[in-house]
Structures are given as C-alpha cells and as structure tokens.
Structure 1
Amino acid sequence: MARLECNVISYVLQRAVDITVVIPSVTIPESLEGPDKRPSHVIKEKYPVLYLLHGMGNNHATWCSYSNIEMFAEERNIAVVMLSGENKFYRTVPGGDDYYRFVEEELPEFITSMFPVSPLPEHTYIAGLSMGGAGALMHGIGNPDKFCAIGAFSAAIHEDKNEWGVPDSNEWGLPDPRKAVEQAIEEGKKIPRIYSACGENDTLYQDNLSFKEFLSERNVDITWVPAAGFGHEWRFWNEQVEAFLDWIPRSDGYGALGKRKI
C-alpha cells in the first residue's frame, strides 16, 4: 500500500489543505514472488476511489490512525482519499470557507489528474463518520450524478424544520439532508444507494433512524445497520467502513479479482 500525504494550495479555499491518499500497490507477499513476476493486481485500469470524510475535531490523518482503512483498501484494490475538512461540515460557510465547492470540484480534479484514480461516477464513492457522515449524505444526495454509493456512519444529522443548514436551527448546527432528497426526487434524479449505520447507544441514533424511515417512505435504496452495544466510537466505525467496502457495488476490473492477500 502506498500512503501519500499532500499539502496542496487550494484555489477555492485560498490556502494549503492537507490530504492523505491511499493507493493500492505491491504487497510483501507479492514482492517475495520475485522481481520478474508482475503482481496479479496490476491491470491496465485506473482504481475506483472512496472519498472518506472525518468527524468533528479530526483531520486527514485520523482515519488511518484509528482504523484499518489502509488494509481494507489494499485488500479490495480501491483508492481512498481523506482531507482535512476542519469543523465546517464540508459545506459552504456563509461569509467563510466554501468546503462544499472544494469537495465537489477541486478535490476530485486534483486527485484524478495526479493519481491513477478513475474519474467515472460508477467508480466513485463517498462516506464518512459523524460530521463526515453528514457531509457524505449532503454531497452524495446533492450530486447524485457524481457518486455510485454513499456511506454514513453515525451521521451527525438533524431534522431541520427551517432552512437547510441554518447554524442556529439546533444546538450544534447539524445539517438536515431531507431537502436534498426532496429536491433530487422532484428533479427526477436517481439518488445513489445509501449505507447507513449507527450504534444503538449513540445519542445520534434516533436522528439516524428517523432519516432511514424518511428515505424508506420515498423508496430510496437504503441499507440500514443498527448495532447493539455501540455508541459514538472508533471500534464501530472501523467495523462499518470495512462492511461498507464489501457492500458497495463494484463494476471496475479490480473488483472482479476479489480480495488480495497482504
């Protein structure tokens, strides 16, 4: 596995942003087969990619620090991109940072031009935990033509009865993706498949359950995973990101190879 940490000047945010990119590469077992043997995972195709968003107070490196995402990605031949989104919920902050545009436009533009990563929507996924789960829902539902599937783990969402995303609509300013769903349905857009998981001991459990019921009532393809015994914690998110990677629909050539031994 190749892990690259990049410090990139953003034309949208007008400052440097830290990004971690994980790209499948030669494993030790493959290297021991000899220098003249081409690794079986190398084919003439760009890698599918998961844009993986962190939670409140975390940064681009936290997923790699607290989970086995590198191992999971290498086993499944998929690239993973993680950025530092600060505490901005990956959205446009009135009078401030436009993280929404950065995630939607500049980040994939940089990644697909610099790394062997597919730009095709059918090979592109987005997921995240807590604040990142809310961000994944906002971007995946708001731009259904760009993503194949969405993963939301313990998503920090809230039913906002006023304007979507108004900071004072609730204590933490949690976003409500319901309006994005309604808009997509009204415009006749197909919402990507959604994988939603939350621990039953999590304070966000009822909000996530309510959102799952909202989606089911509108015939949105939603896989719901409630988990007894878990709260808002990394052991749960580590399990769920692996489950999500096994759940996502794969149409790329690497997916057909199955899991690699590392």
Structure 2
Amino acid sequence: MAVFQIEYRSEILDLEYPVNVIYPDLSRVDKPDDTDIPVLYLLHGMSGNHNSWLKRTRLERLVRTTNLIIVLPNVNNAWYTNTQYGYRYFDALTEELPKVLQRFFPNMSKKREKTFIAGLSMGGYGAYKIALETNRFSHAASLSGALSFDGMLTESLDNLAYWEGIFGPIHQFQEQAMPLLESAELSDKKTKFLAWCGEQDYLFHQNNLAVEKLAEKGIEIDYSTSPGTHDWYYWEKEIETVLKWLPVGFKPEERLS
C-alpha cells in the first residue's frame, strides 16, 4: 500500500487543508492496470482527524490486496456541516475535495456505483448526511453513528456556544432532534445504507430510533447490533464488515500471507 499525506489550499475553507489517501498496492491487487478504481471516503469521529483511522486500526493492512482507494479527510469537530461560524466543511468535502483528488489520482472512479462513504460516531452522522444530500454515493455506512440527537442536546448541555456554532440555535434541535430526517427528503432512495451499534454504546438508543424513523422516510438500513461500547476495539472489527459489504472484492486479513 501507499499512504499519501496531502495538504492543499482549500479555496472554500480559505486554509491549508490536510487529507490522507490509501492507494492500492499494484503488486498485490488483481487488476493493477485498473483506470476506474473504487473509492471509499472514511470519516473520523469527534476529537479525531485525518490520521485517526490509520493510527487506531490496522486499516492499511486490511486492504492491502483490495483494489480500493480510501480517502481520510479532516473536519476537526465540525460535524461535516457548513458551520454557523463560516467554515463550509460540507461544501469543501462534497464539491472541492473530489476535484482535487481527481487531479492527484486520475484512476479514481467518478462513477456513483464505485463511490462509497462510511464513518464512526460523528463520522457516521457525516456519512449519512453527505450520502442523503448529495446522491453521489452508492453505499453509506455508519459505525456507532450519532444518527439522532434525541436526549443529547438540552439547555444544560456543556459548551453550548460550541454546539450553536455548528448547528445554530439549540431550540431547533429540541424541536427537531433528528436533522437526518430533513436530509432524507433530498434523497433519491438509491443509496444502500448499513449501520452497526454496540448494545452498551451510549448512542444505542439514538441508533435504534434513527433506523426506525429513517425507514418511515423510505430509507432502508441494513442494521445490526452486538455487544460493544463506543470504542476503537469494536470499530476496528466492524470496519471489516463494511469492507465485506462493499462491492470491492475485499479479502479478509486471515487469508493474507
């Protein structure tokens, strides 16, 4: 595998923007001359960044014989949104970043059926939001995603200024605790969705509720649960499930030499 650490000038964010890219090892994949390589945008959670998946998991090793480009972007703690304080992370990721990457990696597919997105916790929310609102991803997966804010955002919430800086007046979330329902209204219903959450995770109730409510909007989710908490130990295991679910010919690590 090759891991590229890229920093480019983002016109949308007006700053130097970092992103990591895992590129297939051409000596190990079945189609080394492929000019239409599938791509997975893999999103981090709160307090993480573009290095989190590489530092906390064996992701690079897992995909070493899979013909798949993995893009690891960074939004700090901005929830993959266009924030109230002017940083348009949603636009930067959905409009600018794909164009920049296409110049670096012309073999990266532009086709929807070969473009995927996934994330954990805050990144699970981001993956669903981006997939629902752009209709550019054939598959979207969430691991322990913050898919609903039900019971989370209250007047007594710590650091209220932060949350309002991201989403706006807090009362809007008390009235609408699941902004993904609004995102679902923009969906063409063609994307396939997967979600997993640990049964001891503090977001377990929110995942159950979100799956139910999104189904009412016509968003069917392949949802599974198992014993687990909000922890990298479980996300490292479940990312294998995501990779097996994607149509990329993923080969589990135990088969590798």
TM-score range, shorter chain: 0.7 to 0.9
Inter-CA distance 223–257: structure 2 relative to 1 (3 Å threshold): closer
Query: Is this contact kept in 1: 2:37–2:67, CA < 8 A?
Result: yes
Inter-CA distance 111–223: structure 2 relative to 1 (3 Å threshold): same
Q: Name the SS for the 2:46 alignment partner.
A: coil
Q: Which residue of 1 aligns with 2:170?
A: 168
- Alpha-carbon RMSD: 2.7
Q: How many equivalent pairs are there? A: 239
CA distance in 1: counterparts of 2:232 and 2:40, whole angstroms = 19
The question of 1:103 aligning with 2:90 is answered no
Q: Which residue of 1 aligns with 2:13?
A: 13
The alignment's TM-score, normalised by the length of structure 2, stands at 0.84
Aligned partner letter, 1:117: M
CA distance in 2: counterparts of 1:193 and 1:258, whole angstroms = 21
Q: Name the SS for the 2:63 alignment partner.
A: helix
Counterpart mapping for 1:49-198 below 5 A: 49-115=39-105, 116-144=107-135, 146-159=136-149, 165-166=167-168, 168-169=170-171, 176-184=179-187, 189-198=188-197
Q: Name the SS for the 1:81 alignment partner.
A: strand
Aligned partner letter, 1:99: Y
The question of 1:2 aligning with 2:2 is answered yes
How far does the alpha carbon of each residue in 1:40-59 deviate from its partner, in whole angstroms, 9 at most, with x for none?
Answer: 44133221000011011111
The alignment's TM-score, normalised by the length of structure 1, stands at 0.83
Q: Name the SS for the 1:74 alignment partner.
A: coil
Gaps of 5+ in 2: 152-165
Percent of aligned pairs with the same amino acid:
28
Q: Which residue of 1 aligns with 2:202?
A: 203
> How far apart are residue 75 of structure 1 and its match?
2.8
Gaps of 5+ in 1: 31-38
CA distance in 2: counterparts of 1:219 and 1:83, whole angstroms = 29
Inter-CA distance 226–155: structure 2 relative to 1 (3 Å threshold): same
How far does the alpha carbon of each residue in 1:128-155 deviate from its partner, in whole angstroms, 9 at most, with x for none?
Answer: 01111111111001112x1011011111
Aligned partner letter, 2:76: E
Q: Which residue of 2 aligns with 1:33?
A: none
Q: Which residue of 2 aligns with 1:220?
A: 219
CA distance in 1: counterparts of 2:117 and 2:139, whole angstroms = 7
Aligned partner letter, 2:87: D
